[in-house]
Amino acid sequence: MTTIDLERVVAIDVHTHAQVPRSGEVDPTTTKILDAAAKHFRSDFPRPNAEEVAAYYRQRDMAAVIFCVDSEANTGEVPVSNDEVLEVAATNADVLIPFVSIDPHRGKRAVSEAQRLIAAGARGFKFHPNLQGFFPSDRMAYGLYEVIAAAGLPAVFHTGHSGVGSGLPGGGGIRLKYSNPMDIDDVAVDFPDMPIILAHPSFPWQEEAISVAMHKSQVYIDLSGWSPKLFPPVLIHYINTALRHKVLFGSDYPVITPERWLADFEQLPIRDEVRPLVLKENAATLLGLS
């Protein structure tokens, strides 16, 4: 159970990654993916385990949602263990909010595993349709969504362009078609009790994401993965207006540090009364921390 002191933390980052396990060899596919991403972003970003993420955010008086990505069926990558994420979060409950990731291709095993992880303390679920190779509205995933919705937990879906695979021949086999946020509109209709977070400014489908978030009461947008200085004007407009209670600070750490994100966000023409909503209050409400 989280013990986050909302008076103490200055922000809640809803999108961070445990990229490698605490011990043992890093999976070679993980190294290949991260090496390619570092080349694309022209940044030798760190590759933290969950313990290191906790220490990093504690030093900055921030809380963080943390997860891995289970895409083994499509990419062959052995993910960081969900159990490890839950264990580390339990011992760092003052800063970490643990989400878990289950590949929908696991079928009935995905359903039983979701039930087990919820009982073990999962606070939400992460899906990456590009890496996992599925459309969110594929009925293959609906049994898994039913378990998540029954628990009243949020589901994060990667949307828009993927840094993973960018610049590689054939995009490293990653298909962008899976990440159009409009496909998640069907999921929002069919699971009205499951909060949904559209991860990232959804280039090149930003207006589709805005439309879905405006139309479906349980759909939110996290602003991770892009420097705020690259946000399109239409997104800034809706952050300030109709979506002010439905946008969430996220960095995509370690690819982007929260310091860089917050410094760039400070330069945007965001209304004073909206900034605390984005940085902490909206996430605190959505995650049941307030």
Task: Give pLDDT tens digits for 243-282.
Answer: 999 999 999 999 999 999 999 999 999 999 999 999 999 9
Question: Does the structure show a pLDDT above 80 at 200?
Answer: yes
Do the Cβ atoms of 205 and 160 come closer than 8 Å?
yes
CA-CA distance, 274 to 276, in Å (whole number)?
6
Angle at 99 (CA atoms; ends 224, 199), nearest 5 degrees: 25
Instruction: Give the C-alpha separation, 12 to 162, whole Å.
Output: 23
Does position 38 have pLDDT exceeding 70, yes or no? Answer: no
Q: CA 95 to CA 3: how far, in whole Å?
A: 8
pTM of the model: 0.95
> Where is average pLDDT lowest: 29-43, 50-64, 252-266?
29-43
How sure is the predictor about 41, in pLDDT bands with cuts at 50, 70 and 90?
Answer: low
- The per-residue pLDDT for 274 is 98
Domain boundaries, the chain: 11-286
Q: What's the pLDDT score for residue 168?
A: 80
For residues 16 and 50, the answer to whether their CB atoms sit within 8 Å is: no
Q: How far is CA 79 from the centre of its chain?
A: 15
Asked whether residue 40 carries a pLDDT value surpassing 70, the answer given is no
- Classify the C-alpha dihedral 31-33-39-41 as positive or negative: negative
Any residues with CB less than 8 A from the CB of 275 and at least 6 apart, and which? none
pLDDT range class, residue 235, cuts 50, 70, 90: very high
Distance CA(133)–CA(175), nearest Å, equals 7
| Residue whose token pair is 């159009």 | 180
Compute the distance between CA of residue 130 and CA of residue 33 in angstroms, rounded to an integer: 13
What mean pLDDT is predicted for residues 109-116? 98
Q: How confident is the model at residue 166 (pLDDT cuts 50, 70, 90)?
A: confident
The mean pLDDT of 150-155, rounded to a whole number, is: 98
Counting residues of the chain whose pLDDT is more than 70, the rounded percentage is: 96
Q: Which CATH number fits domain 11-286: 3.20.20.140, 3.90.1150.10, 3.40.462.10, 3.30.1490.20?
A: 3.20.20.140
Give residue 43's pLDDT band: very low, low, confident or very high (50, 70, 90): low
